[in-house]
Amino acid sequence: MAEKRKSGLITHGMAAQNRKARYDYTIKETVEAGIVLKGPEVKSLRLGRATLTEAFAGERDGEVWLFNCYIPEYQAGVLSRFEPRQPRKLLLHHKQIDKMLGAVARDGQTLIPLDIHFNERGVAKVLLGIAEGRKKADKRQAVAARDWQRDKARLMRARG
């Protein structure tokens, strides 16, 4: 997905990414969800200053919420203050909620936000991953496999 910038603002593309998630977890399935934001939160996201490294999604009152996502205050908005780490509601269909919460309860999986991006219409979306935690040996194995694929591609390019 290409990033389009207009005077420093992200109008279409990636606003924040959780790069550690794919290392720490095995992603089984992904779901795109809408997110409820206030005006200054959207402006701050468009500046690309959000952080997802410690964020997670969970259930509260039968709905899915995003917890511990850091969106800093928008500096130009004097009157509009908000809590940077407040829980934010995710917008999903009931079938999607039931499926995801069932996987979490039944299989012990986790809901991890992989990224926050703006779609073609300029609406903020969260890509949630239904994930299973990796053990230390699995992480080493994944790194070794990725390194081998990179080396193999380099050798194939060198050969011709």
CATH number of the CATH domain containing 67: 2.40.280.10
Q: What is the pLDDT of residue 74?
A: 80
Q: Is 150 part of a structural domain of the chain?
A: no
How many whole angstroms separate alpha carbon 3 and alpha carbon 104?
Answer: 33
Q: Is 146 part of a structural domain of the chain?
A: no
Q: Is 66 part of a structural domain of the chain?
A: yes
Q: What is the pLDDT of residue 77?
A: 60
How many whole angstroms separate alpha carbon 90 and alpha carbon 105?
Answer: 19
The pTM (predicted TM-score) of the whole model is 0.79
Residue type, 27: I
Among the residue ranges 25-34, 50-59, 131-140, the one predicted with the least confidence is: 131-140
Q: What is the pLDDT of residue 7?
A: 56
Q: What is the pLDDT of residue 108?
A: 81
Residue 1 pLDDT > 70, yes or no? Answer: no
Residue 87 pLDDT > 90, yes or no? Answer: yes
Q: Domain containing 93: what range? A: 4-134
Give how many domains the chain has, as a whole number. 1
How many whole angstroms separate alpha carbon 129 and alpha carbon 107?
Answer: 14
Q: Is 159 part of a structural domain of the chain?
A: no
- Give 43: exposed, middle or buried? Use CB within 10 Å, 0-12, 13-18, 19+: middle
Q: Residue 61 CB: number of other CB atoms within 10 A? A: 5
pLDDT bin (cut points 50, 70, 90) of residue 78 is: low
Cα 3 to chain centroid distance, Å, stands at 16
- Mean pLDDT for 31-39 is 91
Q: Are the beta carbons of 18 and 114 closer than 8 angstroms? A: yes
Residue 91 pLDDT > 90, yes or no? Answer: yes
